[in-house]
Structure 1
Amino acid sequence: MRTWYRSTIGGLPKMYWFLWTGMLINRVGGFVALVLSLYLTSDRGLKPSAAGLVVGLYGIGGIAGVLLGGVLADRWGRRPTLLLAHFGAVVFLAGLAMTTHIPTIAALAALLGLMHAMPGPAFVAAIVDVVPDRDRSRAFNLQFWAFNLGMAAASLIAGLLAEVSFALLFAVDAAGTLVTAVLLLWKVRETKPVAQREAEEPRGGLHTALTDRAFLSFVGLSLLLAVVTLQSSTILPLAITADGLRPTVYGSVVAYAGLLIVAGQLFVPKLIDRWRKGTTLAVANVFLGLGVACVALAADVPGYLLAATVWTVGSMLAAPPNAAVIAELSPEALRGRYQSVFYLIFPAASFIAPAAGGASLEFLGDWHWVICGGLGAVAAVGHLLIQPARERRVHAAAAARRERLEVPVAG
């Protein structure tokens, strides 16, 4: 047990745990997005098409928030960006709790999406700032675990509060966000490296990340992973109901997958500690693709649970090295911007997965799931192919940093 603790949790900086706690509280309280469409249709009387438009505005705000959060994290610093996002979200959540005017609700939804997306790049950049290279895989593994634990709790709380009062739901979400903001204000110092704080403006910008071939190759493969992963939350319900199973079966499958992550994620670092990151990601994509492909053969609850087991193993293996590789490829002065470009894969996948997946399932039937499995295999091969060049770049950058540190200062 002591060995497991040291290899999984022990040795991480205190500042990391403040950030981790903030992310967990924020995720547990961040349940408005889960029930926004239900609130608009059942409480405000909107038709599904109009509700979808408002929820879409929340998503558009999220895209802008990701990019803005990355730029501000590099320019202003991690702490100011986190504080702005969380205190801003409190204001807009309070507004949603008090207004019934539909155009105002739409505007607040877009602004809330902006604020909810802004902290992501800053949180990750701060973790990279304070956690040494050797411990980052463990740190990101724990971050992924906290995210899923928080999502599970948020889903449960959202369902309970939605049955009581949507105004109460907004108020509780605002309270949780405020607790996170106060924790960040009280305990989290600025983590941006001193050299960056003293510089007027880092060399490069978003265009640097958007023209970085090694980085974009990795982002492209991560987008494939995200598109395949999101089949389980966008298209899988259609397959389950097509097999004559009740919608509650889908809920059970999702809950089972979440339980697997919460129970097993903490043991992943010890398992993959000696593996190269690209190799780990290749194995993860194979498991993910194989699990999704198994849906083509599933026709009952055990079959779907087996498929969920396989793809969840892939998700658990992918989380730590995925985040660690992005940290390695990001120049120190542009960490926020690189993280923001990487975070764009999630809204992109949220559009591609249901749009392409729905048409694929309609015209190809069960072959849709086989094709998704093939995409997982393609991504696995891609990670193996780009691994040598990426590792050479990382080693060269590390050598250059050591050389700069060893150069004596004149005078």
Structure 2
Amino acid sequence: MHALRRWWDDTAGGLPATFWYLWAGILINRAGAFAMLFLSLYLTDARGASEAVAGAVVGAYGAGGAIGVLLGGVLTDRWGRRATLLAAHVTTAGLMVALALSTHLALIAALSALVGMVHSMPSPAFVAAIVDLVPENRRSRAFNLQFWAFNLGMAVASLLAGVLAEASFLALFLVDACATLATAAVIAWKVPETLHRRATPAPLPAAPPGRRPGLLTPLTDRVFLTFVGLSFLLAVLSMQTSTIMPLAMRADGLGPSAYGLVVALGGALIVLGQLFVPRLIDRHRKHVVLAVSTGLMAIGFGTLTVADGLGVYLGAAVVWTIGSMLAAPPNAQINADLAPLELRGRYQSVFYLTFPAASFVAPTLGGVSLQYLGAAHWLIVGGLGVLAAAGHLLAGPPRERRVAALLRSAARGTGRTPTEDRVAAV
């Protein structure tokens, strides 16, 4: 019993009640967000679209996501976290209903782009609210639990989506809309606004005189952009599992069921093991953890160079999944540490742009690489991982010195909080 209590304290103890309502919202949101997983199948089977048209519509959803993550960041700072979350979820539910009832392909494409936009808007608001609520020494655990909830929800969504898609595509979209509304209800009921504005925000050098800072500030913050670039490389590695790996497995004579087994193994490892990650990494410096985790992903994907059977793919999946599990908490916490209070949402939005960017680059360049280089493609992927690991080792110390200096400044009684000092340092 004592050991169990200690594990709970290390994993989730000390987190405010509002965090758990946000966590529940993330879990419900992800568990119900399954309609777009089957969008291409819906278009070809139910609406008679060609594969090319279906691909273009799915691409419109992705393009909307890139716009939505930036818009969500701006609104998170202007409207507030709660207002942005509510607006995004309620709008998503309405668009899902419209998409379920639409029959014209042009209208479906337009609605898909809008759904992609509002689907991405909550990400900066969720993270900004967590940073607002959770003390700095507990954020690693909070982000670890967020990552776990996201993946647990996605695992549930994958199971439900297959059942609903076989029964009715209409039910697929309508149940998704209901789950989205349920998330909005939890937020409206239990999550207050967490953004507390200062009467006189500290000036930022990147902002023109007399004007509030905007997206220009994170886009000119070299320390932050270096971190974003390294995160982009990590995202490109992660995207291999859903974009290029299925093609490589098919070339090795493995069917969809084998691919599903590899993906399911990764999801099961995250669901079962993610809660134990904080005890493994809390004693180590964040940039070292990120270097090790990225190195593990490089080894995992590099191993596919010699893959010729399911066993190698499964073993490699274990290695790169462990790497992604270790990377999630420090990645999110570093992003939070570098973000000024007034621009927390905007910093999150720039960070989250790495995911739609990687979702475009990974399949576009990866498909060409696999076609012309074959198995050597995985050597390139592994090399990118090694490059990212080295980048973390080089960029980590100056980044951590900045954060440490801000904390020391506050401790000496400068009259400013660490966040206010961080604003001045940007």
- Shorter-chain TM-score range: over 0.9
Residue aligning to 1:245: 254
Alignment of 1:6-405 (within 5 A): 6-195=9-198, 203-402=212-411, 403-405=413-415
TM-score by length of 1: 0.96
Q: Aligned to 1:395, what secondary structure does the other structure show?
A: helix
Distance between the aligned counterparts of 2:366 and 2:390, measured in 1?
A: 22
Distance between the aligned counterparts of 2:256 and 2:19, measured in 1?
A: 40
1:76/1:401 Cα in 2 relative to 1: closer, same or farther (>3 Å)? farther
Residue aligning to 2:422: none
1:5 aligns with 2:13: no
Distance between the aligned counterparts of 2:405 and 2:263, measured in 1?
A: 42
Unaligned runs of 5+ in 2: 204-209, 418-426
Shifted more, 319-328 versus 30-39: the winner is 30-39
Distance between the aligned counterparts of 1:356 and 1:101, measured in 2?
A: 32
Distance between the aligned counterparts of 2:200 and 2:55, measured in 1?
A: 42
Q: Aligned to 1:195, what secondary structure does the other structure show?
A: coil
Q: Which amino acid aligns with 1:328?
A: D
Distance between the aligned counterparts of 1:279 and 1:406, measured in 2?
A: 30
Distance between the aligned counterparts of 1:95 and 1:405, measured in 2?
A: 52
1:239/1:194 Cα in 2 relative to 1: closer, same or farther (>3 Å)? same
Distance between the aligned counterparts of 2:193 and 2:187, measured in 1?
A: 10
1:157: how far off? 0.8
1:308: how far off? 0.3
Distance between the aligned counterparts of 1:115 and 1:359, measured in 2?
A: 31
Q: Is the 8 A contact 1:12 1:139 kept in 2?
A: yes
Q: Aligned to 2:198, what secondary structure does the other structure show?
A: helix
Q: Aligned to 1:267, what secondary structure does the other structure show?
A: helix
Distance between the aligned counterparts of 1:290 and 1:314, measured in 2?
A: 10
Q: Is the 8 A contact 2:44 2:51 kept in 1?
A: yes
Q: Is the 8 A contact 2:197 2:342 kept in 1?
A: no
1:203: how far off? 3.7
1:401: how far off? 4.3
Q: Is the 8 A contact 1:67 1:341 kept in 2?
A: yes
1:293/1:198 Cα in 2 relative to 1: closer, same or farther (>3 Å)? closer
Q: Is the 8 A contact 2:305 2:379 kept in 1?
A: yes
After superposition, give the CA deviation of every residue in 1:371-398 in whole Å (9 maximum; x if it has no partner).
2111111111100101111011112222
Distance between the aligned counterparts of 1:145 and 1:248, measured in 2?
A: 25
Distance between the aligned counterparts of 1:396 and 1:196, measured in 2?
A: 25
After superposition, give the CA deviation of every residue in 1:122-156 in whole Å (9 maximum; x if it has no partner).
00000000001101111000100111111111111
Unaligned runs of 5+ in 1: none
Q: Is the 8 A contact 1:293 1:369 kept in 2?
A: yes
Q: Which amino acid aligns with 1:158?
A: A
Distance between the aligned counterparts of 2:231 and 2:340, measured in 1?
A: 19
Q: What is the root-mean-square deviation of aligned Cα atoms in Å?
A: 1.7
TM-score by length of 2: 0.93
1:333/1:172 Cα in 2 relative to 1: closer, same or farther (>3 Å)? same
Paired-residue identity, %: 60
Q: Is the 8 A contact 1:141 1:265 kept in 2?
A: yes
1:368: how far off? 1.1
1:100/1:203 Cα in 2 relative to 1: closer, same or farther (>3 Å)? same
1:199: how far off? 9.9
1:198: how far off? 8.9
Q: Is the 8 A contact 2:288 2:393 kept in 1?
A: yes
